[in-house]
Amino acid sequence: MKINLKLLLLGLCALSFLPSALAQVTVVRKDGNKIYLDTSDYNRAIHTGDTFKVILSQEKLTNPKTGKDLGLVNHYSGEGKIVEVQPLYAIGEIAEPKVAVGQEVLLQQQAATQNAALESTDATAKPVAARKMISYDTLEREIISAVRTNLGAAEEEIAALDNKGNVVVYTVNGNALQQTAQYKLPVGYKSVTLSAKDIMQSGQEQLFVVAYKEAERKISTFVLKLENNDLKQIDSLPYFVKELGCGQDKEIYAQRPFIQSDQPGNAYKLKYEKNRFQLDKDSFSTRHNWLSGLNRYEVEAEDIENLIYTAYNGRLRMQLKNHRFVESPALFATAPNRVKYKQEILSFYPALQVYGPKGKATLAAIQNTTKLGLLSEQFGQYNGGKIHFLTYENGSLAVQETVLLKGFAYDTACTARGILIPQVLPSGQTVLTEIYR
């Protein structure tokens, strides 16, 4: 068998850059040997010194015997270097006259930069044993989201939403989970997230299941209630609904999706009046972020409610009382839960949990690890993760402790005693783990 050496080298060159091709990065301006790159959808941190190549042209690769389309071969520029990083764009320098506006770019982080970032994250981490945790029986499902709830079937219950659109209720007995009820989302809906609270003030909680229907480009929240040991849908809301807070102190907020292209609107507290669910006047700006990857808490001081969210540049970002922002040192913008909306890919980040004394709060955030060589369009390709515990100190968000996970996590929930994490294993099974806070 003859091997086309030129095509082989081009293929190897392309593969060497695939790990960083997590989202499209485009040249939007050229000024001499400087080019401006749109990095607003890139879900890893970018640093000065990172290198890149521009895709100058592409050609179709076809098997001459069978006529089978084998995809595209990219022809790259020489290597360029990032010299400046801004929240939504980066500036690079490259000695390549053929680079033009509109061309795509493949970024490649320097190994030293990546290792330094990981070392700075984990160097001060306390031993894993510093936190007590409990893991429940392995579930033969890929769990998207899980919450501790009180639906009235047992003293301790956990409700879980899987990637097939099933909502399952389990009773908890030590480490064992026994299934007691199940509900299936309507056909065509993709699971997004799950919340629970007694908004109706009926004495038992309701479940709020967020799902996306790609055919109609619509996000809905299905409201479920346990009746006669069976989950029943009692309402459907045209909002994105998510719980913020821990245990009995959690609140349910809703936001109108797609108010501006693919962006969601402000968050309103959800209430139940006149026999229907509706939005309260209590609201706050999410800065067009989905409720799945943010929180609001008095972190900076007892009388200041700070907005904390997962930023596009890969870090946690907190808005201060002077309207400035501080960021975390680690990378968090990894979202295995994605949907396609028109020509966009929407990322629903794992929930960001905040708890503890006001003014001295702790943040708990998931950092998933992607499988190398996979593009962002190939959903859910992750092989592990961590949960970081951070505090706000001396004007920055500092990692105090890091716990390694057995798998990756779509979402988390904050309970009265800890952080509930559905860890999806390489086998597709899930281990529900509660790490005490």
- What percentage of residues in the chain have a pLDDT greater than 90? 58
Q: What is the CATH number of the domain that holds 380?
A: 2.130.10
pLDDT of 121: 43
- Least confident piece of the model among 6-15, 87-96, 263-272, 412-421: 6-15
For the record, the structure tokens of 53 come out as: 């190549």
pLDDT 10s digits, 176-194: 999 999 999 999 999 999 9
pTM: 0.72
Q: Are residues 65 and 142 in the same domain?
A: no
Distance between CA atoms of 437 and 420, rounded to whole angstroms? 10
pLDDT confidence bin for 124, thresholds 50/70/90: very low
97: CB partners within 8 A, 6+ apart: none
- Least confident piece of the model among 147-151, 201-205, 311-315: 311-315
In the chain the first and final C-alpha atoms are separated, in Å, by 60
Q: Which of 54, 76, 109 is the last residue before a domain boundary?
A: 109
Number of domains in the chain: 2
Q: Does 410 or 311 have the greater pLDDT score?
A: 410
151: CB partners within 8 A, 6+ apart: 157, 159, 169, 181, 196, 204, 205, 207, 225, 226
Residue in this structure with the two tokens 């290792």, named with its chain if needed:
115
Does the pLDDT of residue 280 top 70, yes or no?
yes
Q: Are residues 142 and 84 in the same domain?
A: no
* Parallel/antiparallel/unpaired status of strands 34-38 and 382-393: unpaired
3-state secondary structure the chain: CCCCHHHHHHHHHHHHHHHHCCCCEEEEEEECCEEEEECCCCCCCCCCCCEEEEEEEEEEEECCCCCCEEEEEEEECCCEEEEEECCCEEEEECCCCCCCCCCEEEEECCHHHHHHHHHHHHCCCECHHHCCEEECCCECCCEEEEEEECCCCCCCEEEEEECCCEEEEEEEECCEEEEEEEEECCCCEEEEEEEEECCCCCCCCEEEEEEEEHHHCEEEEEEEEEECCEEEEEEEECCEEEEECCHHHCEEEEECCCCECCECCCEEEEEEECCEEEEEEEEECCCCCCHHHEEEEEEEECCEEEEEEECCCCCEEEECCCCCEEECCCCCCCCCEEEEECCEEEEECCCCEEECCCCCCEEEEEEEEECCCCCCCCCCCEEEEEEEEEEEECCEEEEEEEEEECCECCCCEECCCEEEEEEECCCCCEEEEEEEC
Residue 234 forms part of a structural domain: yes
Q: Are residues 173 and 101 in the same domain?
A: no
Q: Are residues 79 and 176 in the same domain?
A: no
Residue 191 forms part of a structural domain: yes
What's the mean pLDDT in 259-283?
Answer: 94
Distance between CA atoms of 344 and 195, rounded to whole angstroms? 26
Q: Are residues 252 and 387 in the same domain?
A: yes
Residue 114 forms part of a structural domain: no
Q: Are residues 132 and 192 in the same domain?
A: yes
Q: What is the CATH number of the domain that holds 69?
A: 2.40.10.410
Distance between CA atoms of 285 and 100, rounded to whole angstroms? 37
Q: Does 374 or 174 have the greater pLDDT score?
A: 174
Q: Does 344 or 122 have the greater pLDDT score?
A: 344
Is the alpha carbon torsion for 209, 210, 214, 215 positive or negative? Answer: positive
pLDDT 10s digits, 354-365: 999 999 999 999
Q: Which of 81, 109, 137 is the last residue before a domain boundary?
A: 109
Q: Are residues 210 and 349 in the same domain?
A: yes
Residue 204 forms part of a structural domain: yes
Amino acid at 310: T
Q: Are residues 83 and 177 in the same domain?
A: no
Q: Are residues 243 and 357 in the same domain?
A: yes
Does the pLDDT of residue 130 top 90, yes or no?
no
pLDDT of 74: 86
Q: Does 296 or 15 have the greater pLDDT score?
A: 296
Does the pLDDT of residue 275 top 90, yes or no?
yes
Question: φ and ψ at 215, to 5 degrees?
Answer: -60, -30
Distance between CA atoms of 410 and 346, rounded to whole angstroms? 14
pLDDT confidence bin for 277, thresholds 50/70/90: very high
Residue 216 forms part of a structural domain: yes
pLDDT confidence bin for 50, thresholds 50/70/90: confident
- Least confident piece of the model among 147-151, 312-316, 383-387: 312-316
Q: Are residues 219 and 156 in the same domain?
A: yes
pLDDT confidence bin for 413, thresholds 50/70/90: very high
Across 7-21, 105-119, 274-288, 317-331, which has the greatest mean pLDDT? 274-288
Distance between CA atoms of 59 and 14, rounded to whole angstroms? 13
pLDDT confidence bin for 45, thresholds 50/70/90: low
pLDDT of 1: 42
Does the pLDDT of residue 271 top 90, yes or no?
yes
239: closest CA among 278, 287, 185?
278
Residue 117 forms part of a structural domain: no
Furthest CA-CA distance within the chain: 75
Domain residue limits at 189? 128-436
Does the pLDDT of residue 331 top 80, yes or no?
no
Does the pLDDT of residue 13 top 60, yes or no?
no
Does the pLDDT of residue 91 top 60, yes or no?
yes
Residue 155 forms part of a structural domain: yes
pLDDT of 285: 95
CA angle 111/113/115 to nearest 5° reads 70
- Least confident piece of the model among 6-20, 214-228, 377-391: 6-20
Q: Are residues 350 and 301 in the same domain?
A: yes
Distance between CA atoms of 412 and 351, rounded to whole angstroms? 5
Does the pLDDT of residue 71 top 80, yes or no?
no
Distances (CA, A) of 216 to 189, 194, 219, 340, 436: 10, 21, 9, 11, 40
Does the pLDDT of residue 116 top 80, yes or no?
no
Residue 316 forms part of a structural domain: yes
Q: Are residues 40 and 160 in the same domain?
A: no
Does the pLDDT of residue 117 top 50, yes or no?
no
